[in-house]
Amino acid sequence: MVSYNIVTDECQRVLNLVQEELFAIRTDYQHVEDDIEVLRSNVCGGTERIDQTSNQNDLDEALTAYYEEVDTFFEDLRQDLGTVYLAMQDVLNYFVSGDAEMKHRSNSPGVEFPYELATSGEGDPAPAYDTREMWEGNPGTMSFGDGNSTNFDVAQYNHTAAKAAHHG
């Protein structure tokens, strides 16, 4: 009995949209550092009295601390969402390739594959799969938990997705 549905080409279209946004984020963000440097060059007046200089370093250090905090936070968030995106792309690929169904039939002979895969008929967008290097160095783990499928590790997606399909 079929319990679940996946419209594969639409899922891919959505993932491509997500990927475009995650890429474009860098464009807007990259200007921030330049303007932090502008702020740094305006910490004090052109020539200040010696008794004005005591807390110039305070402001300089505060700017550095601010930027480091925001930049680390931004990069972690982007990597985090990138990991989620890649995990979902892996799941989709696993179904589209037929691996999920094959694995299911191998593990559960006689039990109907619980997913119905469909397309919208509006064309098949190419997966944006060659962008993995965007988050290289921070593969992380992603949990798409239903109580049965646990930690989703990018490197082990076959195993985890198969488990999800099996328990579904």
Partner 1 sequence: MASVDTVNNLGYRGDGTTDEMYSGSAPMVPNLPNSSFALAAAARINDNLGKTFDRFMAAVDAWNQLRDYYEGPDQEAVYAAFNQRIEKISAIRLAGESLYNAYAINDATLDSDIKGRRDDYIGWAPGHVSASAQYEPYLGKWCRNQYGTADHLWGEMGTPDEDKMRVLEAINALREDRIIKKDEINTLVFDICTHRRTLAQSLKDVDMQELSRIRFETRNEATTTVASQEDVEEMLREAGAFDSLDLRDEEIERIAAEIWANREDYTFGQFTDEQGRDWVMTPEGTMVRAGSAMDPRFNAAAMKAIAEDPVVGQREIDYPGMDNGDRITVAALVYGLNKGNSKFKEWGLKQFKGDDANILGMKVNTGLIGAGITILSIGASADEYKTGQSMLYPMMSDGDLEDRHQHALLVEGAKAGGSVVLGGGLLFVAAAAGAPTGGVGGFIVAAVVDKITGAVVGWIVDTVSDGQTSATQDEINDMSDKELANQ
Residues of this chain that bind partner 1 (CB under 8 A): 4-7, 10-11, 14, 17-18, 21-22, 24-25, 28-29, 31-32, 35-36, 38-63, 65-66, 69-70, 73-74, 77, 80-81, 84, 87-88, 115, 142-146, 148-149, 164, 167-168
Nearer to partner 1, 72 or 105 (CB): 72
b/e map of 39-69 (b: 16 or more CB within 10 Å)? eeeeeeeeeeeeeeeeeeeeeeeebeeebee
Instruction: Say how far apart CA 88 and CA 95 lie, in whole Å.
Output: 11
DSSP tag of 50: G
Q: Checking phi first, is residue 98 left (phi over 0); if not, alpha (psi -120 to 50) or beta?
A: left
Q: Give min distance, CB of 130 to partner 1, in A.
A: 19
In sequence order, the β-bridge partners of residue 143 are: 151
Q: Give min distance, CB of 25 to partner 1, in A.
A: 4
Nearer to partner 1, 43 or 132 (CB): 43
Contact 158, 104 (CB under 8 A): no
Q: Give min distance, CB of 37 to partner 1, in A.
A: 9
Task: List Cβ neighbours of 35 (8 Å cut-off, separation of 6 or more).
Answer: none
Q: Give min distance, CB of 62 to partner 1, in A.
A: 4
Q: Give min distance, CB of 20 to partner 1, in A.
A: 8
Nearer to partner 1, 2 or 102 (CB): 2
Nearer to partner 1, 119 or 129 (CB): 119
Terminal alpha carbon distance of the chain: 11
